[in-house]
Amino acid sequence: INKMKTIGFIGGGRITKIFLQAFKNAEVSFEKVTVFDTNNAVLVALQTKFPSIHITTDDLAGVAKNDIIMIGLHPPVVMDTLAKIKDLIKKKSILVSLAPKLTIEKMATQLGGFANIARMNPSASTIVNKGVNPICFSPEMPVKKRGTLLKLMKPLGFTPEVEESKIEAYAVITAMGHTYFFFQLEKLKELAIDFGMDKKEAQKAIAEMLKGTSETLFNADLTYNEVADLVPVKPLAEVEETIKGYYDQYLTGIYNKIKPQ
């Protein structure tokens, strides 16, 4: 069991729940875990699931004094929160922002030049330790501190170190990416059951098919057309261009909305 130092979460929403579950799965424990949120009901629900955490609706200062501070808030409230913790945060602490849109430079300025800032864009599958969790660091952040954070995140899934300019691209492709497939896979499962498979069999078959799909497309050393030609019957061929049009429209739209202006 890994024993890390203290960690504080500002914001007790879904991303904090995902992290807490992933750390629990991987048996990563801390000397103390504190979660701050203005909504007490959210905190109580979280503590019911993770009884060892400390919760608070008013002690933002206490949370700001942790060794690692994770900010799980929507971009509009992040800057206000940083202004509140500016004089409370310890010089040697590490601050991790989980929000798109706000650059390290912008946050560092708000914090009066604080150097140990990382940005991360975690994904929902982190909850089963299969996340895609890209991370980038402030240029001033010491290598040792970067290493501490990377080691902490390793059991949560795939944690590539990326350029900051790519964080929003990852947000649209990997963090939101699950939603492009959840409903389709659920529908495939329902149809598989209608066609005579049982639930477990259907889930296993679809999961294995998906692994094989990405493996074939990305690693078979074939062109896209050669891959497409491996399957003679394409039931959705007529609507493929329409679906691709939706990807262009909606994904480009959301990317433009969340990228730093």
Per-residue pLDDT of the chain (261 residues; tens, 9 = 90+): 455 699 999 999 999 999 999 999 999 999 999 999 999 999 999 999 999 999 999 999 999 999 999 999 988 899 999 999 999 999 999 999 999 999 999 999 999 999 999 999 999 999 999 999 999 999 999 999 999 999 999 999 999 999 999 999 999 999 999 999 999 999 999 999 999 999 999 999 999 999 999 999 999 999 999 999 999 999 999 999 999 999 999 999 999 999 998
Nearest-CA neighbor of 15 among 175, 173, 152, 165? 175
pLDDT for 2 equals: 52
Nearest-CA neighbor of 7 among 26, 43, 31? 31
Please answer whether residues 161 and 94 qualify as being in contact, where contact means their C-beta atoms are separated by less than 8 angstroms: no
Cα maximum dimension of the chain: 64
The residue behind tokens 């007790």 is: 12
pLDDT for 140 equals: 94
pLDDT for 177 equals: 97
Side chain identity, residue 142: P
Q: What is the pTM of this model?
A: 0.93
pLDDT for 222 equals: 98
**Within 13 Å, how many C-alpha atoms sit on residue 123's CB side?**
26
CA–CA distance, 76 with 105 (Å, rounded to integer): 16
CA–CA distance, 172 with 167 (Å, rounded to integer): 9
Question: Hey, is 66 helix, strand or coil?
Answer: coil
Please answer whether residues 162 and 133 qualify as being in contact, where contact means their C-beta atoms are separated by less than 8 angstroms: no
CA–CA distance, 231 with 256 (Å, rounded to integer): 36
Side chain identity, residue 161: E
